[in-house]
Amino acid sequence: MMEQRTFAIVGDSRGIGASLREQLLASGHRVIGVSRTGVQRPADAHSSAYQSLVFDAVQHPCDLSSFASELAGLVYCPGTLRLKPLRGLKREHFVEDWEVNFLGAVQTLQANQKLLAASPSASVVLFSTVAVGTGMSFHASIAGAKGAIEGLTRSLAAEWAPKIRVNAIAPSLTDTPLAAGLLGSDAKREAAAERSPLKRVASAEEVAGLAHWLLSGQAQNMTGQVLQMDGGMSRIR
């Protein structure tokens, strides 16, 4: 029988975080979800293994020590998707993207390092974007913030080894509520798919599946990596 372990997902109310929550519950684990809106799931066999906390982890450090004695994994999902030319970006835009994507992750990890260290082995999963490694127009603010996430991933992987693994996923445009404005019509979806060598848009479930694997025992030898789940956009021309 699989051992039940406790995982925390910050930003589990929708998109990749919601898909990952369901995958972890289906695998028999306990999940603590943190979001600004909270999650009301239908009653099912997994109900007792899930706890939804209403909390703004961007504005305040999210210390989960009142809800768990240890964490086998922590995933930080909040992000932004602000696409503007540099001349259209104001200082407050850069600050907001930095706070949501980077500082929110930093303070969440600081607040829960002891819980991760209390686990026999633990895994952290963060999110970057294909636009960090592949220059794309109008991505200056988000690529800057996510570039910091990639640096954080490698630095913490070194600092927290060997007990805590730290990895990041850098997807291309993914079918989530955050990307609804870019995928809101058949024409937009077709144009987005055409930019990918695989001629498709990734689903939230697919990206969550990679995060699920990084949290699992099958990824015990993976740390300090930024995995490009981008349909080949960063490698193929």
Mean pLDDT for the chain overall: 95
Structure tokens at 7: 């995982």
Taking the C-alpha atoms of residue 221 and residue 192, their distance in angstroms, rounded to an integer, is 34
Q: Where do the structural domains in the chain lie, given as residue ranges?
A: 6-227
What number of CA atoms fall less than 13 Å from residue 3's CA on the CB side? 8
pLDDT digits (tens, 9 = 90+) for 195-224: 999 999 999 999 999 999 999 999 999 999
Place of tokens 């930095």: 98
Q: Is the pLDDT score of 1 beyond 60?
A: no
Q: What is the 3-state secondary structure (H, E, C) of 8-24?
A: EEECCCCHHHHHHHHHH
Strand order through the sheet with 226-227: 50-54, 30-35, 6-10, 73-76, 122-127, 164-169, 226-227
CA gyration radius for the chain?
17
* Residue corresponding to tokens 């007990």: 163
Percent of all residues in the chain with a pLDDT value above 90, rounded to a whole number: 90
Torsion of CA 143, 148, 154, 159, to 10 degrees: -170
CA within 13 Å, CB half, 210: 21
CATH 3.40.50.720 fits 6-227, yes or no: yes
- 39-79 confidence digits (pLDDT tens): 999 889 888 999 999 999 999 999 999 999 999 999 999 99
Please choose, from the candidates 157, 151, 155, 184, the residue with its C-alpha nearest in 3D space to the C-alpha of residue 170: 151
| Residue range 12-41: mean pLDDT, rounded | 97
Q: At what angle do helices 140-160 and 104-117 cross, to 10 degrees?
A: 20
Query: pLDDT of 130-148, one tens digit each?
Result: 999 999 999 999 999 999 9
Using a cut of 0.85, tell me whether the model's pTM lies above it: yes
Q: Mark out the alpha helices in the chain (DSSP H runs).
A: 15-26, 91-98, 104-117, 130-133, 140-160, 186-194, 204-215
Q: How far is CA 76 from CA 85, 106, 111, in A?
A: 27, 10, 13
